[in-house]
Amino acid sequence: MINLEINRNEVLRYLGYKKGDIGESISQLIDECIEEIKKYSNYKYTYIVLKIKQSEDNIELLKSNLILEGSDILHHLKDSTMCAVLAVTLGSLVDTKIKFFEKTNLTKALILDACASTAIEWVCDEASHKIKEEALSDHDLGITYRYSPGYGDFSMDIQPEIINALEAQKKIGLTVTETNILIPRKSVTAIIGFQDKNIISIHPGCKTCNNAKWCQLKKGGNYCGN
Amino acid sequence: MGTMLQQRGLKTGEVPETYNIIHPEIIKEIHEEYIEAGANIITTNTFGANELKLKNTGYSVEEIIISAVNIAKEAKGEKYIALDIGPIGQMLEPIGTLSFERAYEIIKKQVIAGVKAGCDLILIETISDLYEAKAAVLAAKENSNLPVFCTMTFEENGRTFTGTDPITMVTLLEGLGVDALGVNCSLGPGELLPIVEEILKYSSIPVMVQPNAGLPKIINGETVYDISEEEFSKHVQIMAEKGACILGGCCGTNEKFIKKLVSEIKGKSPKVLENKGYTTVCSPSKTVILGNGVKVIGERINPTGKKKFKDALKNNNIDYILTEAINQMEAGADILDVNVGLPEINETEMMVRVINEIQSIINLPLQIDSSSSEVIEAAARIYNGKPIINSVNGKDQIMREVFPIAKKYGACVVGLTLDDNGIPSKAEDRFKIAEKIVNTAKEYGIKKEDILIDCLVLTASAQQEEVMETLKAVRLVKEKLGVKTLLGVSNVSFGLPNRELLNQTFLSMALVQGLDAPILNPNNKTIMDVIKSFKVLANLDKEAKEYIEANSNVEVKQDVQPINKGNLKDIIIKGIKEEASQITKELLKTNDSLTIVDNYLIPALDIVGAKFERGEIFLPQLIQSAETVKNSFAVIKEKEVLENKKGISKGKIILATVKGDIHDIGKNIVKVILENYGFEIIDLGKDVPIEKVVKIAKEEDVKLVGLSALMTTTVKSMEETIKALKENNVQCKIIVGGAVLNPEYAEMINADYYAKDAQEAVQIAKKIFNIV
């Protein structure tokens, strides 16, 4: 497994940093937190690749019981003939440590949380990269960007089915609550379409987000990366 | 079973247990193949047959399990039928949201159905969360008389996904009285060997292994495992030679693997494991072996003689207790004693809550300290791991009450050397009581290694001649009974000046006598130094490594920076947390509390708040300043408690992260900032049931309730909480916040206010409580 990388500027962005002097103590604390999250993380990912069958109002993932619904995911996979279903996690120790610092040093907890969010994005990128290589080598195809439950009208209700289909608990220790929250908390599931490698797929940023109108990050000129 | 079903057409994500009803012939065929291959035990197709996983299948737990056991019975050939129970699929608290009792109920249903259908044994497997293993074993043992086997799944780093290592698994499961324990799934047999060796090193009961057929590889989109039957059985045989005696396979294996294995081990008899005799206690991720060096039991979580602690218990101030726990851990305690006995409170409820809260953030094993067997039982049940129970003594009645609890939950027990006649003055008589305790424990099936004897320290000021008797008793107990000892050290100096010196000397004397676990205040550096130096002199700290490390930078630490007096405002603005308490103490000498709040804290906060709004500082800086104020407030509150004054409160506010949601950090930020402004916060925590919000809001007559939700899915329960508050005519305003909310959404769910951040929450609270 490659060593986890955490981009400091991304951490600052998650923390809502816009301008001004962050001060020596916070600056040091950020460096410390980056190292600690690297230490606490036990990142893992798992995915399956399935052929898909498009129809008017849903997408069926063949040889599985997964059916994706919602116009946004349909649009996302419009050029795809197959897709990868991905789940990634940083593991539960990160959660425990953040919880610990919430009791002893909230500033640190907040920064650790931002570092972990940055870290999970990095893991997603790593996994996507791997999937991209596989799409190219096995199928001579390119991939779409990642699309997760909760984006647009792609319902979070699919979360348990994704976890189940991936056997994510057994493989990477990832579960989902009755309210569709992933546990460990720093985890992501996503769908990545396989499509003609000449089509370029770029994340549309805030355009697909339901909360774009009110988002505090967006007002500061940032985007959350999700 | 899973592997076999996939080969026979089970789709990805399909619920395998439905095959018991729709394709019983396939399940039967698989069983028969395994019996034919020579398996003695077949596992029913019920891995995920719990009410959560079967929810959308249209079948009940009973239907699935009864049909599964019946199919197994019908399969031709001689066999034992194991009711297979896999993980529930949701994570238990504190990592997840499923409560321990709910987990117990879910598994209980499976066990009852299995027993009714006539299975021969219960196999709990592929568990990664130790707490779930405990719930499952209790459910199995309390609802059946069948043998119970339990295996967990480990990663290559030697731990489960939630951080349990092999010794910890053995400590818990053996304590709970399972009939066999071990490991399944996880890895291939080669990679599993070190884990199995570790289990065998500590287990005194039969060990079972079911490895995968090597490591998974993805070839053409299909998962395949990479080793052959020959290689598999070669490795598993090594495990058998080392002492594993129930053998099988997991992912990627099939009847051919079993056949090969059976043919290889035929005629060999299983190795019987000896009793290891370790005294172990554990949390989910840490085991402490007593007798292996000096282990410190922290004594600070105890209200006796502590006004602030009593106050914290009465006011449900769990954070105060947690701080005591954290400080002791950081000071080097190995185990923490937990005593929350106070006549005015419900001790059982408080004990359970405190244990849950401590275990959610730190991993030291705990010692349950109570004089009530009801409290002890409740605590031993929900404790995640193997605890110490403090205590029994030579009185028959108390042993009758406590030993069955200790046996059932597999706890260690402290035995005090006193009885109906009090504490004997002579060491020999204390030894006799210790002997009686150990022998009585044996009658209850409790091994002597699970008994810790406390020979009781008397004060040198009142019973000087008996100090040496205590030490003599320690040695007698160690040598003649061979059990571990503990002592509450600081009693010795009661009533004399310079107590620390006496404590230190007494501790050294006791350690020489063989004391295994002193109970003391680890925050007291000098006494901890005695232990560190003892470890060097007793040849426990090899090459004095720990000692040198602890003492190499002593001088640097004394270099304290001069305090910039009277500049509290600046300190808050700069967020220099460490300096706030000292300066506040200074200020309190010449100012009253309210002056400090109004002239220093609030103006500084307003400046910081304005800077934040203008984007000149960002969130971590705001919080750092807020925590600086918090430290200052702590000093003010401490003074008020000591002087019996009513604290500053500008209004009572409930804060809660709504039911189903576990994102806590945003709510905690709002909490610290509201507290800074003098509001009294009743923090209900996360995943808070609707009824609880309503109940507390009514009881405490609260004017403002703040609700937080971070997920679109949990905004629904926010809406229901608001509805319940209004339907129950709770006369309060409701303010909501959280990443997915916005003013429109807040209005739609009938909240009175929406706050985009903590600063805005302060403005709203000020308005509601008419504060200018």
Q: What is the CATH number of the domain that holds B24?
A: 3.20.20.330
Residues B539 and B604 in one domain: no
Q: Please give the CATH architecture assigned to the domain spanning A9-200.
A: 3-Layer(aba) Sandwich (3.40)
Rounded CA-CA distance B536/B697 in Å is 56
Per-residue CA distances from B32 to B47, B72, B75, B251 (Å): 18, 9, 6, 19
Res A2: pLDDT:
87
B664 vs B626, residue with greater confidence:
B626
**Helix (H), strand (E) at residue B634:** helix B619-642
For B66, other C-beta atoms within 10 Å of its C-beta total 18
User: Cβ separation of B362 and A100 shorter than 8 Å?
Assistant: yes
The DSSP symbol for B445 reads T
Rounded CA-CA distance A211/A222 in Å is 14
Q: Which residues contact B414 (CB under 8 A, 6 or more apart)?
A: B367, B388, B389, B390, B391, B392, B452, B453, B454, B486
B316 vs A193, residue with greater confidence:
A193
Average pLDDT over chain A, rounded to an integer: 90
Tokens read off for A207: 């355009």
pTM of the model: 0.93
Q: What is the DSSP string of B518-548?
A: EEE-TT-HHHHHHHHHHHHHTT-SGGGHHHH
Q: Which residues contact B343 (CB under 8 A, 6 or more apart)?
A: none
Residues B315 and B412 in one domain: yes
> Could you tell me if residue B738 is inside a domain?
yes
For the stretch B312-355, pLDDT in tens is 999 888 999 999 999 999 999 999 999 999 999 999 999 999 99
For the stretch B514-563, pLDDT in tens is 999 999 999 999 999 999 999 999 999 999 999 999 888 665 544 445 54
Q: Which residues contact B558 (CB under 8 A, 6 or more apart)?
A: none
Q: Is the per-residue pLDDT at A149 higher than 80?
A: yes
> Could you tell me if residue B327 is inside a domain?
yes
User: Cβ separation of A184 and B362 shorter than 8 Å?
Assistant: no
- Which region among A191-205, B136-150, B639-653 has the lowest average model confidence (pLDDT)? B639-653
Residues B316 and B398 in one domain: yes
- Are B141 and B116 in contact by the 8 Å Cβ rule? The answer is no
Give the A window 192-221 contacts with B, CB below 8 Å. Answer: 210-211, 213-214, 216, 220
Average pLDDT over chain B, rounded to an integer: 94
Q: Please list, residue by residue across B203-232, b when 16 or more beta carbons sit within 10 angstroms of its beta carbon and e when fewer do.
A: bbbbbbbbbbbbebeeeeeebebebebebb
A67 interfacial to chain B (CB closer than 8 Å): no
Rounded CA-CA distance A142/A129 in Å is 11
B304 interfacial to chain A (CB closer than 8 Å): no
What is the extent of the structural domain holding B456?
279-556
> Could you tell me if residue B247 is inside a domain?
no
Which residues of chain B have a CB within 8 Å of the CB of A18? 615, 618
Res B637: pLDDT:
85
Residues B531 and B568 in one domain: no
Q: What is the dihedral of CA A177, A183, A188, A190, to 10 degrees?
A: -40
Closest CA to B34 of B43, B25, B47: B43
Which residues of chain B have a CB within 8 Å of the CB of A66? 12-13
- Are B521 and B489 in contact by the 8 Å Cβ rule? The answer is no
Residues B540 and B594 in one domain: no
User: Cβ separation of A175 and B14 shorter than 8 Å?
Assistant: no
Q: Which residues contact B427 (CB under 8 A, 6 or more apart)?
A: B455, B469, B470, B472, B473, B476
Residues B763 and B740 in one domain: yes
B362 interfacial to chain A (CB closer than 8 Å): yes
Residues B514 and B605 in one domain: no
The nearest CA of chain B is from the CA of A210 a distance in Å of 9
Rounded CA-CA distance B65/B86 in Å is 13
> Could you tell me if residue B267 is inside a domain?
no
- Which region among A114-123, B226-235, B612-621 has the lowest average model confidence (pLDDT)? B612-621
Average pLDDT, integer, range B8-18: 92
Q: Is the per-residue pLDDT at A72 higher than 80?
A: yes
Q: E strands within B685-745?
A: 704-708, 733-737
Residues B391 and B422 in one domain: yes
Rounded CA-CA distance B206/B183 in Å is 12
Q: Helix H segments across B203-339?
A: 229-242, 255-265, 307-314, 318-330
User: Cβ separation of A183 and B95 shorter than 8 Å?
Assistant: yes
**CA contacts within 13 A on the Cβ side of B105:** 7
Residues B390 and B426 in one domain: yes
Residues B299 and B367 in one domain: yes
Give the A window 109-168 contacts with B, CB below 8 Å. Answer: 109-111, 113, 138, 150, 156, 161, 164-165
> Could you tell me if residue B413 is inside a domain?
yes
B123: exposed, middle or buried (Cβ count in 10 Å: 0-12, 13-18, 19+): buried
Rounded CA-CA distance B385/B175 in Å is 9
Tokens read off for B177: 């009285």
**Helix (H), strand (E) at residue B652:** strand B652-657
What does DSSP say about strands A44-54 and A82-89: parallel, antiparallel, or unpaired?
Answer: antiparallel
Q: Is the per-residue pLDDT at A158 higher than 60?
A: yes
Rounded CA-CA distance B250/B96 in Å is 26
Closest CA to B455 of B479, B423, B413, B481: B423
The nearest CA of chain B is from the CA of A61 a distance in Å of 9
Domain final position from B638, B658, B680 = B638
Q: Which of A92, A157, A159, A180 to mutate to test the interface with B (most CBs of B within 10 A)?
A: A92
Under DSSP, is residue B15 helix (H, G, I), strand (E, B) or coil? coil
Rounded CA-CA distance A93/A184 in Å is 9
> Could you tell me if residue B243 is inside a domain?
no
Residue in chain B nearest A64 by alpha carbon: B12
Q: Which of A169, A174, A188 to mutate to test the interface with B (most CBs of B within 10 A)?
A: A169
**Helix (H), strand (E) at residue B440:** helix B427-443
Which residues of chain B have a CB within 8 Å of the CB of A91? 161
Res B558: pLDDT:
45
Q: Which of A110, A134, A194 to mutate to test the interface with B (most CBs of B within 10 A)?
A: A110
Q: What is the DSSP string of B194-243?
A: HHHHHHHHH--S-EEEEE-SS-EEEETTEEEE---HHHHHHHHHHHHHHT
- Are B147 and B80 in contact by the 8 Å Cβ rule? The answer is no
Domain boundaries, chain A: 9-200
Average pLDDT, integer, range B726-740: 93
Number of H helices, E strands in chain A: 8, 8
Q: What is the DSSP string of B563-624?
A: P-TT-HHHHHHHT-HHHHHHHHHHHHHHS-HHHHIIIIIHHHHHHHHHHHHTTSS-HHHHHH
Confidence of residue A138 (pLDDT cuts 50, 70, 90): very high
Instruction: Using CB atoms, pick whichever of B13, B95, B360 lies closest to residue A165.
Output: B13
- CATH code, domain with B670: 3.40.50.280
Rounded CA-CA distance A5/B372 in Å is 52
Average pLDDT, integer, range B406-421: 97
Q: Which residues contact B663 (CB under 8 A, 6 or more apart)?
A: A185, B657, B686, B708, B709, B710, B711, B738
B537 interfacial to chain A (CB closer than 8 Å): no
- CATH code, domain with B581: 1.10.1240.10
Closest CA to B185 of B168, B201, B161, B205: B161
Q: Which of A83, A106, A178, A213 to mutate to test the interface with B (most CBs of B within 10 A)?
A: A106
Count of domains forming chain B: 4
Closest CA to A111 of A181, A217, A206, A6: A6
Domain final position from B579, B605, B638 = B638
> Could you tell me if residue B687 is inside a domain?
yes
- CATH code, domain with B481: 3.20.20.20
The nearest CA of chain A is from the CA of B436 a distance in Å of 43
Residues B434 and B527 in one domain: yes
Res A19: pLDDT:
81
Q: Is the per-residue pLDDT at B219 higher than 80?
A: no
A103 interfacial to chain B (CB closer than 8 Å): yes
Rounded CA-CA distance B481/B440 in Å is 13
B717 interfacial to chain A (CB closer than 8 Å): yes
- Which region among A179-183, B210-214, B231-235, B592-596 has the lowest average model confidence (pLDDT)? B592-596
B619 interfacial to chain A (CB closer than 8 Å): yes
Res A224: pLDDT:
57
Q: Give the distance between the most distant pair of CA atoms in chain A.
A: 57
> Could you tell me if residue B174 is inside a domain?
no
Which residues of chain A have a CB within 8 Å of the CB of B574? 23
Res B559: pLDDT:
45
Give the B window 122-141 contacts with A, CB below 8 Å. Answer: 126, 128
Residues B605 and B698 in one domain: no
User: What angle separates helix B347-361 from helix B373-382, to the nearest 10 degrees?
Assistant: 30
Domain final position from B638, B672, B692 = B638
B217 vs B628, residue with greater confidence:
B628
Tokens read off for B450: 């699970």
